Chains A and B, each alone.
Chain A
Amino acid sequence: MKKIIALLLALVMVFALCACGKTAEETKLKVGFIFLHDENSTYDLNFIKAAEEACQAAGVEYILKTNVPEGQECYDTAAELVDEGCSIVFADSFGHEDYLIQAAKDFPNVQFCHATGTKAHTENLANYHNAFASIYEGRYLAGIAAGMKLNQMIEEGKITAEEAKMGYVGAFTYAEVISGYTSFYLGAKSVCPSVTMEVTFTGSWYDQALETEGAQKLIDRGCVLISQHADSLGAPSVCEANGVPNVSYNGSTEDAGPNTYIVASRINWAPYFSYIIDCVKNNKAIDADWSGSIASGSVELFPLNEKVAAPGTQEAIDAALAEIKAGTLHVFATDTFTVGGENLSEYLADVDTDDAFTPDTNVVSDGYFHESEKRSAPYFDIQIDGIELLDVAF
C-alpha cells in the first residue's frame, strides 16, 4: 500500500512540474468564448468551429466555456475569463446579453462581443458590441431550393399546385425566427407562386422531443416539405422517417436524413471573430453593431444534396445570389408580399429594445424592408399573407 501511495505522489509531482513549464510562455492575445450548450447543439457547434478556425488562423490563444446558462453564471464566467487574461470575451446566446453588459461595465479594458443581442446601440458602452449576419439572405436561397422541390413534386403529379404547403418548426415568436421563416417562404414563393406555409413553435431553442412532435404534426396536417429554426435533429429525423424533404439550418443534417435533406444555410462566424481579433490587435474600435452578409462570407449555404434537390436548383440559387450580391434583389421587397391583403409602404419596427417591444423606427423605404441595417439583430416581425401560425403560445 505504501508503495502505491509513494508512486501516486511521485506521479502527482511529475504533473505538477509539467504544469509549471507552461507558464513561461510569452503572453499572447487571448480570446474567451461563452457558449450556452456544447457540441451537441448545432447552434453552438457552429460557433465553436468558427471560434477555433478564426483563433488558430490568427495565432491567438483561446478559452472555450461550454454549457453556460443565461444567468449570473454568465457574468461569473465572463469575469473568470477576464481573470484568465482574455482581452476579448464573446458570448453566443441571446439571454447572455444583460450579464455581458454588466461585465462590460465592470471591466472597461476588455472588449465584450455578443451574438444576436440588441442593446449595444442603445447602451453606448465603448467596450460592448453586438453582431449578427443577414441570415435572411441564406434562408431566402434555401427557400428557392424548397420551391424548386415543390415545383418538381407538382410536375411529377405527386401534389397539386394548391397542395404545395410547407411546414416550419420555430422556436419562439421572436423577430429572429419570424425573419427567418418569412425569408425562407419568400424564397420558395419566388419560384413556386402557389406555396403556403404553416408554422408551429416549441418555446425552446433546443428540445428534441417538442421539435420531433412539431414536425410530425405538420406532416400529418399535409405539409409536404419541412424546415426548422430550432437546434436539435428532431425535425430532420422525422422528415427522414416520413420521406418528407427537409431544408435545414446551422449545419448540414445530411447524416440524419440522407434521403430527405436538401440544403442548409448557416451563419459563418469566423469572419466576425477574425474582425474583432484584428481590431484588438491593432487598437481599432469594434463596431457597436456588426452585420455580416452573404457577400462578405458571413452567410453560407451548404452544398446541395443532389440526390434530393430538384434539377436546376443550383442554377436558380446562383442566379438569385448574383442578384443579391449586385444589390438588385432585396429579400424583403415590398412588392413580393402582402400583409392583410395590402402592400407595406412603411413599418415601425422595435429597433431600440425595451420591455414592451415599442415600435420606434420606420424600416420600409425604397421599396423594401431594411432588415439588419438599423441594428445587427433581425427585427422583421410581421405576419405576412400565406403563412399561418398554428400556435402562438410562445
Chain B
Amino acid sequence: MNKKTRVPLFHIAKRSTLPWYHAWAIRGGALILALLVCAGVTAILTGENAFLLYVTMVKGSFGSVRKIWVLLQNIAMLLCVSLAVTPAFRMRCWNLGGEGQVLVGGLASVLVMTFLSPYLPNGLLILVMLLASILAGAVWAGIPAIFKAQWNTNETLFTLMMNYVAMQLVAFYIAYRFPKGTGTMGVVNGDTRAGWLPYLLGQQYLLNILIVALLTGLVYAYLRYSKHGYEIAVVGESERTARYVGINVKRVIIRTMLLSGAICGLAGFLLVSGTDHSLSTTSAGGRGFTAVMVSWLAKFNPIWMIFTSFLLVFLGKGASEIASQFRLNESFGDILTGIILFFIIGSEFFIQYKILLTRSAEKEEKDHV
C-alpha cells in the first residue's frame, strides 16, 4: 500500500468561456433553487405556504394596471441612478455617492421650485430646475473626483461620506424652513402645480419613463461608440496603459465623475418634479447603493441593466407586498430577497469556475495519460 496523502475533496478550476445558453441555464437553475430554498425557509419560519407567497409577490408588481405603471416608474428611477454610476464603475472608480448626488439634485429642484415659481413661467421653471439639479449633482460628484485626480484620495470613502453631508443638508433645509414642523416638507406648490412635470397621455409616470429610456440609449452609445467611452475603458483596464497611449487620466476621471453626478442630479430632478413633488432625507430610497448591484450584475452594460433593475425592483416590491398581505414583518421580505440575491450572485461564480471532485479529477488526469 502506498502512503496515503490527504487530498482535498474537490478543487476549483477556471472555466473556459461557456456558451451563452449554458450560462443562462446555470442562472435559471440558481433562480429555481433560490425559490425552493425560500419556500423552505418560509414554511419553517412562518408556516405560510410559500407558493401562495410567490403568487402574492407577482401580484405586488403586476396585480393591476396601476401597479404595472408604478413598477415601470420604480424601474426607471433605479435604472437612472444605475446609469449614472456605471461610467465611473467602468473606469474602476467606485462612486458610492449616488444617494447624496440624487439628494442634492433633488434639493436644487426644490429650492428653484419654491423660490422661483412666482417669477418664472412653468416651462422655464422646469428647465431651470433641471439645470440646477444636474449642476448640483455634478458638483457633488466633482468634489471627490478632483481630490481623487489630484491627490489620489480614496473615492469610495469620500463619495460615501458625501452622502451623509447631503442628507444633513436636506434635513437642515427642512428644519430651517419648517421650524415647527415634523421634519417633513409636504408637497411643494400643491395648488399651482408649478414645476411639476406634465402628465403624458394622462399618465403621471410616462414622461419619467421615456426620459430614462432615452438616457439608457445615450449612455449605451456613449460608453460603446464614443471616444470618451473608449478612454473610460482604457483607464479602467490600466491607468498606466492609458497614460502611455496619451490619455489624460486626471481629466477622464473628473469628466466621468461629473457625468456620473450630473445623471444622479437628473434622477433627483425626476424624483422631485416627476413624482414626489417633495423631498426628505430618505427620498433617494437607497437607490444609490442598489444601483451598484444593478450595474455589477449587468456587467456594467446599460441594456442588461434594464433587466437587473427590473429584477431588484420586482423583488423589493414583492417583499413588501408579502410583508403587508401576510402580516409578516418587513424584514421577512428582506430575508427572501437576500436569499434570492445570494443565489443569483453565487451563480456567477459557477459560470466563471467549475468545481471538480478530486477523485474524478484524478480520473480525468489518468485518462489523459
List residues of A whose CB falls within 8 A of some B CB.
Answer: 11-12, 15-16, 19, 38-40, 64-67, 69-72, 76, 79-80, 83-84, 94-95, 97-99, 101-102, 171-176, 203-205, 350, 355, 357, 381, 393-394
Contacts of B67 in A (CB 8 A): 80
How far is it, in angstroms, between the C-alpha of A376 and the C-alpha of B324 when the chains are bound?
29
**Across the interface, do A71 and B190 meet the contact criterion of CB distance under 8 Å?**
no
Q: Are A66 and B324 in contact (CB under 8 A)?
A: yes
Q: Write the nearest CB–CB distance from B265 to chain A, whole angstroms.
A: 19
Contact partner of B64 (CB less than 8 A), chosen from A40, A65, A83, A173, is A83
Give Cα A95 to B329, complex, Å: 22
B3 contacts partner chain A, Cβ-Cβ < 8 Å? no
Closest beta carbon of chain B to A287's beta carbon, Å: 23
- Complex: how many Å from CA A99 to CA B280? 14
Q: Across the interface, which residues of A come within 8 angstroms of B51, CB to CB?
A: 11-12, 15
Task: Write the nearest CB–CB distance from A5 to chain B, whole angstroms.
Answer: 9
Asked whether B275 lies within 8 Å of A95 as measured between CB atoms, the reply is no
Chain B residues near A357: list those with CB within 8 A. Answer: 178-180
Q: Is B351 an interface residue (CB 8 A)?
A: no
Q: Is the CB of B64 within 8 A of A38?
A: no
Residue pair A355, B278 in contact (C-beta under 8 Å): no
25 contacts between A and B (CB under 8 A): A11-B51, A15-B49, A15-B55, A19-B55, A39-B329, A65-B324, A66-B323, A67-B320, A67-B324, A71-B276, A72-B276, A76-B70, A80-B66, A95-B186, A97-B186, A172-B182, A174-B180, A174-B181, A174-B182, A357-B178, A357-B179, A357-B180, A381-B180, A393-B175, A394-B175
Q: Are A95 and B175 in contact (CB under 8 A)?
A: no
CB-defined contacts of A71 to chain B, threshold 8 Å: 275-276, 278, 280, 283
Residues of B participating in the A interface, judged by any CB pair closer than 8 Å? 49, 51-52, 55, 64, 66-67, 70, 171, 175, 177-184, 186-187, 190, 275-278, 280, 282-283, 320, 323-324, 327, 329-330
For the complex of A and B, list the 9 residue pairs with the smallest distance between their C-beta atoms, beginning with the closest.
A98-B187, A95-B184, A72-B275, A72-B276, A172-B182, A71-B276, A98-B186, A174-B182, A357-B180
Given contacts A38-B330, A94-B182, A394-B183, 10 further A-B contacts (CB under 8 A): A64-B327, A66-B323, A67-B330, A71-B275, A72-B275, A76-B70, A80-B66, A80-B70, A172-B183, A174-B181
Contact A15-B280, Cβ < 8 Å, known A64-B327, A94-B184, A204-B183: no
Q: B-side binding surface: helix, strand, loop or mixed? A: loop
Contact residues in A for B187 (Cβ distance below 8 Å)? 98-99, 102
Give the residues in chain A near B171, CB-CB below 8 Å: 203
The verdict on A70 contacting B66 (CB below 8 Å), with A38-B323, A355-B177, A394-B175 known, is: no
With CB as the reference atom, state the residue of chain B lying closest to A98.
B187
Q: Which residues of A contact B186 (CB under 8 A)?
A: 95, 97-98
- Chain A residue with the shortest CB-CB distance to B59: A19
Task: Please pick, from A12, A67, A84, A99, the residue contacting B323 in the complex, using a CB distance under 8 A.
Answer: A67
Min CB distance, A46 to chain B, in Å?
16
B204 to chain A, nearest CB (A): 9
Known: A64-B324, A98-B186, A357-B180. A76 touches B66 (CB 8 A): yes
Q: Assess the B182–A171 pair: CB atoms within 8 A.
A: yes
A38→B329 contact, CB < 8 A: yes
**Closest chain A CB from B146 CB (angstroms):** 32
Residue of A204, A205, A355, A357 with most partner-chain B CB within 10 A:
A355
A69 to B279, CA, bound (A): 12
With both chains docked as a complex, state the minimum distance between the C-beta of A350 and any C-beta of chain B, in angstroms.
8
Complex CA gap A95/B277 in Å reads 13
